Chain A
Amino acid sequence: EAQVTQNPRYLITVTGKKLTVTCSQNMNHEYMSWYRQDPGLGLRQIYYSMNVEVTDKGDVPEGYKVSRKEKRNFPLILESPSPNQTSLYFCASSLNWAGELFFGEGSRLTVL
């Protein structure tokens, strides 16, 4: 089954404790991206990747890092989480940068 898998789905952590949210797709998609969704602000793009070893900033990249060492995986790294990074995070992939998007189920992160 074609899917985008995110883990963890729910996480409560404390300020400054590094964490990684994983994202994996099994569709051989070139394009992968991360978004955060906040009430009243909607979805905003954090980072995206056009292909292996190619990543670029979206609209809200501060406080986040990404890597794309393999085509199927695109982890989101929070080196030193802060409470303003409490949010619902979505990973998505598509065949290319203008293709149909496939979203993961979302990861709800709370930073205390």
Chain B
Amino acid sequence: KNEVEQSPQNLTAQEGEFITINCSYSVGISALHWLQQHPGGGIVSLFMLSSGKKKHGRLIATINIQEKHSSLHITASHPRDSAVYICAVTVGGNEKLTFGTGTRLTIIP
């Protein structure tokens, strides 16, 4: 079993819909990252969380340390949000980074 599980693996939605992508992990962590990768493109860091909630534009990330769960929300989704979203964790006391396999999001106009 992977230490980091993401759901769903694939998500297709209409423009304007509210999107939620989930990340669950099985180990104690010191930080959780949400990354975005456009088709054929590089990887961009969206958020780095160790507790609570962060907001940047239409994107919101939350983390619940006790439940070992994080969510990435996109409000008023747009076709340019189509990308793979990747959750990654830095395991507590360890400098290694472990990744989920990603969620492929497609927003249809």
Contacts and interface: CB of A to CB of B under 8 A. Distances in A.
Interface of A: 31, 33, 35, 40-45, 48, 50, 56, 58-59, 90, 92, 97-106
B57 to A, nearest CB: 16
B98 interface: yes
Contacts of A48: 95-97
A100 B50 CA distance: 11
Contacts of A101: 33, 35, 45, 48, 97
A43 B31 CA distance: 17
Contacts of B31: 98
The interface centre, meaning the residue of B45, B86, B101 with most chain A CB atoms within 10 A of its CB, is B45
Nearest to B2: A42
Question: What class of interface size applies to chain B in its complex with A?
Answer: 20 to 34
Contacts, number: 57
The B contact surface, by secondary structure, is strand
A45 B97 contact: yes
Contacts of A58: 96-97
Contacts of A56: 95
A101 B90 CA distance: 11
A34 B105 CA distance: 25
A105 B42 contact: yes
Contacts of B108: none
Nearest to B95: A97
B30 interface: yes
B44 A41 contact: no
Nearest to B35: A101
